[in-house]
């Protein structure tokens, strides 16, 4: 099979099984349409790198622009699938490199009926009027906010205009429920993404020192990840030093690191479409001050407590409340909150948000903030981050510690055990 993938793809049977599961959840007579993401322009003739639509990738394994999946659902979950590909030609091969052939796409996805994307409108004219319902992708992620229209949204608007009588439904909730539970095949990719994420950090840790640019640390990480066959960072990396360790989404990475600073690295590698996500906070000169170490150890204790209570069946909201209660006690010990402030609402001490203003965990998978982050309860097979932090701008101390965990029948498995986290281990690695 010819393909241009840097990673080792999952077997086609995985994607076929995902389509089978989706079809089983849909009524007979339904038509599913899912599009690839656009390639977005910059200026002049420039474009951004293509990043595939996660749901299309989940259903097909195809990581190529202008791809469309159509599924016609029959009785008892039977389904006929059509995969549309951007047609390749000699000019495209010369200028951009090879695109998937029909045979390659079929081998990757398990879809037998593969055609070119220019058949799309003719297929709609045939399939939409005959369908009892048309199921399109909508991005209902609770944290989504953008002014940019996606290809799925643009094509959905065009379909509604052309077929105003079609009964249109959304597949978002169905796919979100499916994607929340990771299969053994997905865990192969997720484990590799997490392994690369931790290994890259461990590799560069001894090379970090005062006077380096935050951008140099980013460059070192990028090289460490790509050498391990990651395609890229799974999100824009945060390499924040000094006062900017208290900025939650600092991404400019433009300063020189000063002696005595802390450096907060919120980083992740993408492998096979799946995201790693970890945070470590380290002393630029290789040695924590007593105050830095006290805050660090408080965050580490909260993280370990959070991991100790994550169990199948525990409500996410209750988990976050329990972590806040535990964090409140640590903040009192650090002299940041008074016991009186905590006792005003001991069961849910929102006063901790003065120093810890974000949640402890989000789901992880094909997206960094994956579908299902608003789920009600933890369950076996889910993957979550665990990332408490304490931020004290007046002291230029911001410390966040994050790992990724798989929920198991009796607790959690840490997916990034290869990244030093104990203060002594970090200091020892930096002393090398």
Which whole number is the average pLDDT over 397-402? 98
Helix spans in 73-213 (H): 90-96, 102-109, 120-127, 151-162, 172-180, 184-204
Mean pLDDT score across all residues of the chain: 95
Q: How far apart are CA 353 and CA 331, in angstroms?
A: 11
**C-alpha torsion angle, residues 319, 201, 299, 410 (rounded to 10):** 30
- Residue 143 shares a structural domain with residue 198: no
Residue among 347, 319, 329 at smallest CA distance from 405? 319
| pLDDT band, residue 95 (cuts 50/70/90) | confident
Of 130, 163, 180, the one marking the end of a domain is 180
Of 180, 215, 242, the one marking the end of a domain is 180
pLDDT exceeds cutoff 90 at 413? yes
**Does residue 361 lie in a domain region?**
yes
**Does residue 246 lie in a domain region?**
no
> What pLDDT sits at residue 283?
98
- Residue 29 shares a structural domain with residue 147: yes
- Residue 167 shares a structural domain with residue 76: yes
- Domain with 383 in it: 184-206+272-280+287-431
Residue among 267, 225, 236 at smallest CA distance from 6? 225
CB of 364 within 8 A of CB of 387? Answer: no
- Residue 162 shares a structural domain with residue 299: no
**Does residue 245 lie in a domain region?**
no
- Residue 194 shares a structural domain with residue 98: no
Contacts by 286-295, CB closer than 8 A, 24 or more apart: 286/209, 286/427, 286/430, 286/431, 287/427, 288/423, 288/427, 289/260, 291/395, 291/397, 292/262, 292/397, 292/399, 293/423, 294/334, 295/334, 295/390, 295/392, 295/397, 295/399
CB of 83 within 8 A of CB of 114? Answer: yes
- Residue 138 shares a structural domain with residue 165: yes
Which whole number is the average pLDDT over 164-168? 96
DSSP three-state, residue 153: helix
Question: pLDDT tens-digit profile of 27-82?
Answer: 999 999 999 998 888 898 899 888 899 999 999 999 999 999 999 999 999 999 99
Three-state DSSP string of 210-233: CCCEHHHHHHHHHHHHHHCCCCEE
- Residue 175 shares a structural domain with residue 188: no
Helix spans in 249-311 (H): 290-309
Q: Which residue has the tokens 């608003």?
A: 374
Overall domain count for the chain = 2
Residue 204 φ/ψ, nearest 5 degrees: -90, -15
**Does residue 85 lie in a domain region?**
yes
Entry pTM: 0.95
- Return all residues near 351 (Cβ < 8 A) that are at least 6 apart: 328, 337, 341, 342, 344, 345
> What pLDDT sits at residue 79?
98
Dig out the tokens for 192 from the structure: 């590799």
Q: Quick one: what percent of the chain has pLDDT higher than 70?
A: 99
pLDDT exceeds cutoff 70 at 2? no
Beta carbons within 10 angstroms of residue 380's beta carbon:
14
- Residue 147 shares a structural domain with residue 201: no
> What pLDDT sits at residue 372?
82
> What pLDDT sits at residue 152?
87
Question: pLDDT tens-digit profile of 124-163?
Answer: 999 999 999 999 998 767 677 777 888 989 999 999 999 9
Question: pLDDT tens-digit profile of 305-343?
Answer: 999 999 999 999 999 999 999 999 999 999 999 999 999
Q: In sequence order, what E strands does 36-143 have?
A: 68-73, 79-85, 113-116, 133-136
Of 180, 215, 243, the one marking the end of a domain is 180
- Residue 171 shares a structural domain with residue 312: no
Which whole number is the average pLDDT over 373-379? 86
Sign of CA dihedral 278, 283, 289, 291: negative
- Residue 152 shares a structural domain with residue 20: yes
> What pLDDT sits at residue 12?
98
Question: pLDDT tens-digit profile of 110-126?
Answer: 999 999 999 999 999 99
Dig out the tokens for 180 from the structure: 């929340």
pLDDT exceeds cutoff 80 at 265? yes
> What pLDDT sits at residue 1?
60
CB of 54 within 8 A of CB of 175? Answer: no
pLDDT exceeds cutoff 90 at 93? no
**Does residue 302 lie in a domain region?**
yes
CB of 294 within 8 A of CB of 334? Answer: yes
DSSP three-state, residue 60: helix
**Does residue 224 lie in a domain region?**
no
Question: pLDDT tens-digit profile of 182-221?
Answer: 999 999 999 999 999 999 999 999 999 999 999 999 999 9
**Does residue 257 lie in a domain region?**
no
> What pLDDT sits at residue 91?
74
- Residue 170 shares a structural domain with residue 119: yes
* Degrees, nearest 5: CA angle 275-61-268: 10
Dig out the tokens for 311 from the structure: 């169990």
Q: Domain containing 143 — which CATH number?
A: 3.40.350.10
Q: Domain containing 406 — which CATH number?
A: 3.90.230.10
- Residue 198 shares a structural domain with residue 81: no
**Does residue 226 lie in a domain region?**
no
């Amino acid at each position: 099979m010819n393909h241009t993938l840097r990673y080792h793809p999952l077997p086609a049977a995985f994607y076929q099984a995902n389509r089978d599961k989706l079809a089983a959840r849909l009524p007979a007579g339904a038509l599913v349409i899912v599009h690839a993401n656009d390639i977005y322009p910059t200026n002049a003739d420039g474009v951004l790198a293509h990043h595939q639509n996660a749901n299309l990738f989940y259903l097909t394994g195809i990581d190529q622009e202008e791809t469309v999946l159509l599924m016609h659902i029959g009785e008892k979950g039977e389904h006929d699938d059509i995969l549309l590909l951007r047609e390749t030609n000699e000019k495209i091969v010369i200028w951009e490199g090879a695109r998937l052939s029909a045979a390659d796409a079929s081998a990757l996805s398990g879809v037998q009926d593969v055609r070119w994307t220019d058949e799309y409108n003719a297929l709609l004219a045939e399939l939409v009027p005959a369908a009892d319902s048309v199921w399109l992708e909508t991005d209902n992620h609770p944290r989504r906010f953008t002014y940019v229209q996606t290809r799925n949204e643009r094509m959905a608007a065009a379909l509604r205009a052309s077929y105003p009588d079609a009964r249109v439904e959304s597949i978002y909730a169905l796919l979100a429920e499916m994607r929340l539970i990771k299969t053994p095949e997905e865990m192969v990719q997720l484990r590799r993404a997490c392994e690369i994420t931790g290994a890259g950090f461990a590799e560069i840790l001894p090379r970090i020192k005062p006077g380096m640019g935050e951008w140099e640390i980013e460059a070192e990480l990028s090289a460490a990840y790509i050498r391990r066959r990651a395609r890229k960072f799974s999100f824009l990396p945060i390499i924040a030093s000094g006062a900017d360790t208290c900025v939650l989404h600092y991404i400019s990475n433009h300063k020189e690191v000063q002696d005595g600073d802390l450096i907060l690295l919120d980083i992740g590698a993408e492998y096979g479409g799946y995201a790693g996500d970890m945070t470590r906070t380290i002393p630029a000169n290789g040695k924590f001050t007593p105050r830095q170490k006290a805050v660090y150890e408080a965050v580490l204790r909260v993280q370990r407590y959070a991991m100790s209570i994550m169990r199948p069946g525990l409500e996410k909201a209750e988990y976050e409340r329990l972590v806040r209660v535990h964090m409140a006690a640590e903040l009192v010990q650090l002299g940041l909150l008074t016991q009186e402030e905590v006792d005003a609402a001991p069961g849910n001490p929102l006063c901790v948000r003065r120093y810890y203003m974000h949640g402890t965990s989000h789901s992880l998978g094909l997206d960094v903030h994956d579908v299902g982050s608003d789920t009600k309860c933890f369950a076996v097979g889910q993957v979550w981050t665990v990332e408490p932090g304490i931020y004290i701008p007046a002291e230029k101390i911001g410390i966040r510690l994050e790992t990724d965990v798989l929920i198991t029948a009796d607790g959690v498995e840490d997916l990034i055990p290869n990244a030093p986290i104990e203060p002594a281990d970090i200091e020892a690695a930096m002393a090398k």
